[in-house]
A and B are shown apart, each in its own frame.
Chain A
């Protein structure tokens, strides 16, 4: 009996050693991060201090309890001739170890209450940003600035996920933590952040700001932040929101107030340029070229880059009744979505050119050769 067991153990040992050595030689991943970030806001510093204080209290309690146990295990064993004592209760002891935890908890509760109260003081903000979660992207609305844009997973990460590129995750800078349009915020400014959602519940979380908050459809949560250091802070959606929950990162770019003002002007200009030309005739080639990009950003997560969908979960567009049928139905579903499914209403999200380009692309890509093209003006007319 002992022989096969030793050989089994040896095999197990070899497996562990070989895997461990693999792990040691793996390049570029040497991160081994252990602890919470201190963050870059007054609140995140308080949260970090609370975290460390409670952690150390717990470590001390653990040492006391486990050391007592260990002492007992070493000394009070039968093979050392220990004879069991007869005691089986002690009111004094039991009161003591009820009272000590209460005292510890009070010591923790006082600073925790203070921090919590500070976190809820959302009044007197200088600017307000409304963040809306969508499956699977974020919309940032700079309230009072007439500036709204979407932020989705960066194209280089997307290509790895969709397997349309041969790159490995470690080849990409900030794999899964980069976006096309970061949300730019000024430093040393009290910023009120409203979160809500358009479809399912999401949660907006940037660890460096010190909190996360759910984005709930039909409700608005308010929070605030005050970033003290310029920099780029990354985060992710933290509430399961469907298939691409892992693929809707957040990038906050904190800049000086002056840079922020310049950025506001430039970004508004860029957005205006992107939607100009909606009133002219577009050629098939123009729409196809634009459509491919817009499709990849907005549609490929479900319907896949090759238009084949995921059988049983997300319908294929290749030779589908919608993409090759009556154009009115196609426009309708893209504009208004489909209730009870993950298909969103893109009419509210994209400009006329982008919607026209998507529909044209879907009707003429991957062997779908309907041949018709949808003009931005047609979309405008349906609004």
Chain B
């Protein structure tokens, strides 16, 4: 840690060269690295999605063999979940939490450095499996045994990658909790925290509770494969379904890990562009806590078809249905925030409104799937593929776009190109629906998920979906142009940036100094959350 040898209190002192990034302990630089890394992974995962949609453009096998196709679906999910959406959320947390609560940096800056830098190693390991004997993992991102045990040389790399990513996320989560609990500015009480900070504390607790279970489950896979245990092998007294229980005990909280920060983002943006305070702040906080709490009691709705006892099926059906209640509260509160506001529709607002509408569409299909007897039909079809892409793409990813447009002027000091931003929004919003909406029809008509080729009666909607997919993919290049244009220059913005914005980050200069809030600000009820 030679960099720490010289300490300088000067606000804008920045280390220079590659060392600034490699040894960084600055939350803004680490946040930037997280965000750029996730953008890269978004395109890596996106390229895999294009391969999938190209193969499914027509019936028959055109481009890839079925084994490689399975690798594509598996790796697309792993890269998008662990490489794109999660790091983007952590990047935003790094950048924004200290400046939102009036702290000079994250509580544990060196750990912050490590939690970022092990990510590129993790993904190098994972992506290197494409060149191994047996190919990349092809058993699905859910890694169900016994199928996953048929993975070739990639198997131990898959497990080790999961461990690395898990360690990274847990360190990030500890850091966020330590920061928010210890480093709030005077007057920044918990019930004055911006909702983005609230959703991230809850997310951090979910990470700490859920990830060790996942790490344990994949370690049991490892010992089943190499050390003669039979945790998941019925022939040795084990149970393959037990893995699914463990996996989804992690997996369901995981989907909230992906979506809660998105709720936080939208709760920042809607009030800003409605020029009106967030409706029902307190119920928003309680609803988020309720969703997180319930998320530990609904896991088996991912596996209704494994054949549970009737009592289990009923319990998980009722528990799952109750999640609709706090989620509904959030949607209604956002709509009530917009109601009788004074709205303008800049790109962040457009993405946030699209989030509310399209995330709700995913929520509606979610309620349908919570009904166990009907889920026996929907399960493992394109209906569920449509559902989780509505909540994760038009949900989580749209919120991340909204966040990027919202805070880019603050981060860079330049206004992004609003025309290109709006073009990005409209192309994304139109094409994403052409991509995913027809998948509802495919699933209901009987098309299973994770198949490389299909019966000809599914051809029409698959072709529509693929066309939407290619166009949606191309539209994302606009985003890259906007981001890099904005980093390089553009109209100078004020500290306030957005007329209706509230919160401590808007009291800092744009861009903020390298070290901000070295003297803590005073927070009052009036200057608190949006």
Interface residues of A (CB under 8 A from B): 1, 5, 12, 16, 19-20, 23, 26, 28-37, 46-47, 50-51, 54-55, 58, 61-62, 65-66, 68-69, 72-73, 76-79, 82-90, 93-94, 97-98, 101-102, 105, 108-109, 112-113, 115-117, 119-120, 160-161, 163, 168-170, 174-177, 199-201, 203, 205, 207, 210-214, 216-219, 221-222, 235-247, 310, 312-313, 340-342
Contact = CB atoms under 8 A, between A and B. Distances in A.
A76 B464 CA distance: 36
Q: Which applies to chain B's interface (DSSP): helix, strand, loop or mixed?
A: helix
Interface stretch (B44-52, B209-217, B312-320, B404-412): B312-320
Contacts of A115: 373
Q: Which 10 A/B pairs are nearest by Cβ-Cβ distance? A: A218-B234, A246-B451, A221-B307, A33-B445, A211-B376, A169-B59, A58-B364, A85-B340, A88-B277, A200-B147
A226 to B, nearest CB: 15
A102 B329 CA distance: 11
Given A113-B314, A176-B454, A313-B135, 12 more contacts: A26-B463, A31-B458, A58-B368, A66-B360, A77-B344, A203-B305, A203-B379, A219-B240, A219-B307, A246-B451, A246-B452, A340-B149
A235 B150 CA distance: 26
Interface in B438-473: 441, 444-446, 448-461, 463-464, 467, 471
Given A31-B460, A68-B335, A216 B307 contact: yes
B284 to A, nearest CB: 10
Contacts of B463: 23, 26
B235 interface: yes
B364 A62 contact: yes
Among A68, A113, A170: residue with most chain B CB under 10 A? A113
B203 interface: no
A112 B374 contact: yes
Interface in B278-333: 278-283, 305-307, 310, 313-314, 317-318, 321-322, 324-325, 328-329, 331-333
Interface in B57-72: 58-61, 65-67, 70
B152 A76 contact: no
Interface residues of B, number: 109
A94 B96 CA distance: 30
Interface stretch (B34-42, B138-146, B185-193, B510-518): B138-146
Contacts of B343: 72-73, 76-78, 82
Given A97-B329, A214-B306, A244 B66 contact: yes
Nearest to B309: A120
A105 B133 contact: no
A313 B445 contact: no
Contacts, number: 327
A310 B69 CA distance: 13
B336 interface: yes
A89 B285 CA distance: 13
A135 to B, nearest CB: 9
Contacts of B471: 12, 16
A337 to B, nearest CB: 12
Contact of A109 (B321, B419, B455): B321
A94 B329 contact: yes
Contacts of B317: 109, 112-113, 116
Nearest to B57: A19
B311 to A, nearest CB: 10
B423 A5 contact: yes
Contact of B373 (A28, A97, A112, A213): A112
Contact of B240 (A116, A218, A312): A218
13 contacts: A33-B461, A36-B377, A36-B444, A51-B374, A58-B367, A68-B339, A78-B342, A78-B344, A201-B147, A211-B373, A222-B307, A240-B70, A312-B135
B387 interface: no
A36 to B, nearest CB: 5
Given A89-B282, A112-B371, A312-B135, A235 B461 contact: no
Nearest to B361: A62
Given A29-B460, A47-B377, A174-B455, A34 B146 contact: no
Nearest to B303: A214
A241 B147 contact: yes
